[in-house]
Structures are given as C-alpha cells and as structure tokens.
Structure 1
C-alpha cells in the first residue's frame, strides 16, 4: 500500500502547475494534502477515475489552512476535525478509517512570526495527541507538523534556534506528545540521513538545499512490522514543500 502526503501551499495554485500529472504518476492508494487554502466550491480536482473518494475539510476563514484526502478505496468512516470546537475551525484534521488502521492527516498550526501563536500551539499539541490516542484502531499520522525534531532535520539549527518550528518548546512538546506514542518512520529507518521536506521561498533556499524536515509519517508501533519504506520525494516541485511517501506491506 502506497501512501502520499503533501503540503501543497494552495490547491488552486498547484492545479495550475503539474499537480494532476504528479497525482497520476505517483498513483498512491491514499493521497493526503495539507494547506489547501480553498473552499469546496472553489476547486474541482478532475481525478475521479483514479480517486473516486475525496474528502475536504476547509477553514472557516477563506484562503487559509485546510486539508484534503483522495482515496482509491472507500473508508469505513470519516471524521472531520477532532470533535473539539476550539480547535476545529481551521480545517486542520481529517481521519479516515480502514479495516486495520485509522489514517489521520494534519496541518499543525505554525507558532508564527514572533512566536505569537506558541501558547496555542502548545495547547494544540496536547489536544491533537489526546485525539489520536483516543482512536480505537492503530493510527498512522501524516502531514506538515511544523517542527524539525532534531538538529539533523534542519540546515541551520543554530541560527533558527528561536524561530517557529525549531524552538525548545515545540521540539520538547513533539517528543513529549506524539513521539511518546508513535514512531517517526523516516528517522527510524534512516537515523543518519539528511533530507528536507520544506524550503523557504526566500534566499534561493531550495537551490541551496537549506531546508527543514517538518513533514512526517508517524506510525503506531503496533503497525511497524508493516512498514516497508518512508521516503522524501525531493525531486517533485510545485510547492515550498515536497511530498513524502510511506510504503506498507
């Protein structure tokens, strides 16, 4: 089973590029998207022959946040959000249920310029962890988690130490919450490999490969024997993020 996750930084923008070609070329069983920045009536993704089942969770605020999932096989159930009204206005979470596991795609809130949303981010981390650990089946989580866990996951750790996504608070929260329950599939398989999944649009960061690894496939330990590979598809363009892939037996 092939699973793909990609922060597209605007579904309408990537639809004007090669998104459909990428969608068909990758040919995943499930394709998860974060940061759609669109309402359902603003887009139409013409891929029903490949993905007859499409689910979208949009933010109340137009042009902001949002998630989407394309599936070949119909899920047993779908949950939009976390059943927590204080956290469910920005369209950040979709959960689909299959026979053997629940798959959750998430676009974690960014702490923002000047860390103005750091306190909310800390609340979110606890609330999201509480939600995913409450699900009955083993869980696979994918998406833009907006944190580089270790220094190996970021090009310039010293100069970014107090920036959103690499503060001690965010990294410690990631370890104390999600990583307490789930395996970082890429880093578990490749403890010393240096690859990134996001590059700033500024300063020619992608050309210089001055990036961050902030997109993840997190896997419940009960499913770990099913994991074949976890990849970062750095050769695919169209967003400031690249897609990430999880292969299951």
Structure 2
C-alpha cells in the first residue's frame, strides 16, 4: 500500500502546476494534502476511483486538509474531522478509520515569527498526542502531514542559525520527542537514521531550493506496532508545484 502526503500550499494553485499528472503517476492508495487554502467545491479535481474528504478552515483561503482514498480499499469505517471538539475551526485534521489502522492527515500550526503562537502550538501538540494515543488503543495509527518541526539538527540545512526559530525551537522539538517516546516511529529516520541533505520544504526566498537550503518538516509517523509492516519511507524531492515536496510511505497490510 502506498500513501502520499503533500503540503500543496494552495490546492488550486498546485493543480495549475502539474498536480493531476503527479497524482496519476504516483498512483497512491491514499493521497493526503495540507494547506489546501480552499472551501469544498472550489477545486475541479475529482478522480473517479477515489473517495474525497475535505476539512476546510472557517477562515477562507487559510489552512485546510484533504484526503483522497482509493475506492478499491472500501469505504472507511468512520471519518472524523478535527480533534473531537478541539482545534476544529482551522481545518487541520482528518481521520479515516479502517479495520487495520487509522489514517490521520494533519497540518500542525506554525509557531510564527518570534514564536508568537507557541503557547497555542504547545496546547495543540499535547492534545494531538493524547488523541493519537486514544486512537492507538483501538487500531495502530498512520499519522502524516506538515508537522512544522525539524526534529534534529540533521533535519535542516542551517541548524545553528535557526536554533530557537519557529519550526526549530526547543519547545517544538521537545514535543516531537515526547510523541515518539509515547510509542511512535518517524518512518524516514527508521530507514535512514543518518542521511543528510534530504529535505521536504524550502523557502521561496534566497534560491533556497536551488541551493538545497531546506528543512524536513513533512512526515509519516506510525505506531511502533507497525514497524515490521513498513517497507520504505521516501521524500520525493524532484516533485515541484509547492514550496514543499511530497513524502511517501510504503507499507504492507
């Protein structure tokens, strides 16, 4: 089974930059999107072999997530938008339940410049971890998305100059550590613990992508009980259309 996750930085814009061709060629069983920046019905994209699930922010043109799920796998047992009454107004979370797993697509809030939103970010992280642990009591979890944190120094080009900035603050990195220590696996580092120079986001400024001055902030994270099922975890750095590139998980069920 192949899963794709991509922060498209505006789905309608990404559609004009080759998304449909990528979608067809990638042939994913699940394609999870973040930062769709749209309301339902605003994107003209309806692959006939997939169910479509959108969670849009109340604020137009902001945040938002989506999942395309292959119909051949059957309908989910349940679909949940948001986090059971918490953090539900920005369209940041979709959960699909299947007999063998939960799939959670998430767009984690950015702490913003000078960490203006760090307190909310910490609350979100704690609530999300508890939510994932609750799910994990029923089925193992596949959690993916733009998690807006480079966990270790190996995960960004310039760790020293970015220490303390949004996405590389001690607080955010600590919350990622807490999540992994609670029983979850960063699939890319599971396969490639020492690989450097592989990133999933580059600023549009300063020719960052051309110079590969990037950050790895897009993840597939799974319950530890799924470790023996994962076959590979990839970062598709050649795919353009957004300031992020897609990430991929290959797993057997």
Pairing 1:31-110 to 2, within 5 Å after superposition:
31-48=31-48, 50-51=49-50, 53-72=51-70, 73=73, 74-85=75-86, 87-110=87-110
What stretches of structure 1 of length at least 5 have no aligned partner?
A: none
Partner residue, 2:200:
197
In 2: Cα distance, 1:147 partner to 1:88 partner: 21
| Partners of 1:126 and 1:178 in 2: CA distance | 13
Q: Deviations over 1:4-31 (max 9, x none)?
A: 0000000010111100000000000000
SS at match of 1:206: coil
Deviations 1:192-236 (A, max 9, x none): 112100000000000000000000000111111110000000010
Taking the aligned partners of 2:132 and 2:59, their CA distance within structure 1 comes to 25
Q: Are 2:238 and 1:243 equivalent residues in the alignment?
A: no
Post-superposition offset of 1:179:
4.5
Displacement of 1:181 after TM fit? 2.2
TM-score by length of 1: 0.97
Shift of 1:46: 3.1
CA displacement at 1:162 relative to structure 2: 1.6
Query: Aligned equivalents of 1:206 and 1:161: distance in 2?
Result: 20
* Runs of 4+ residues over 6 Å off in structure 1: none
Distance 2:41 2:52 in 1: 14
Gaps of 5+ in 2: none
Determine the C-alpha separation between the residues in 1 that align with 2:178 and 2:69: 32
Q: How many residues align?
A: 246
Please say if residues 180 and 186 of structure 2, whose CA atoms lie closer than 8 Å, have aligned partners that are also in contact.
no
> Which of 184, 187, 191 is the equivalent residue of 1:185?
187
Q: 2:220 aligns to what? A: 217
Name which of structure 1's ranges 169-178 and 197-206 shifts more when overlaid on structure 2: 169-178
Question: Contact 2:149/2:168 (CA < 8 Å) preserved in 1?
Answer: yes
User: Is the contact made by 1:20 and 1:47 (CA closer than 8 Å) also made in structure 2?
Assistant: no
Q: CA deviation at 1:41?
A: 2.8
Q: Are the counterparts in 1 of residues 200 and 245 from structure 2 also a CA contact under 8 Å?
A: yes
Whole-Å separation in 2 of the counterparts to 1:42 and 1:245: 26
Q: 164, 174, 177: which one pairs with 1:175? A: 177
What RMSD, in angstroms, separates the aligned Cα atoms of the two structures?
Answer: 0.9
1:147 aligns to what?
149
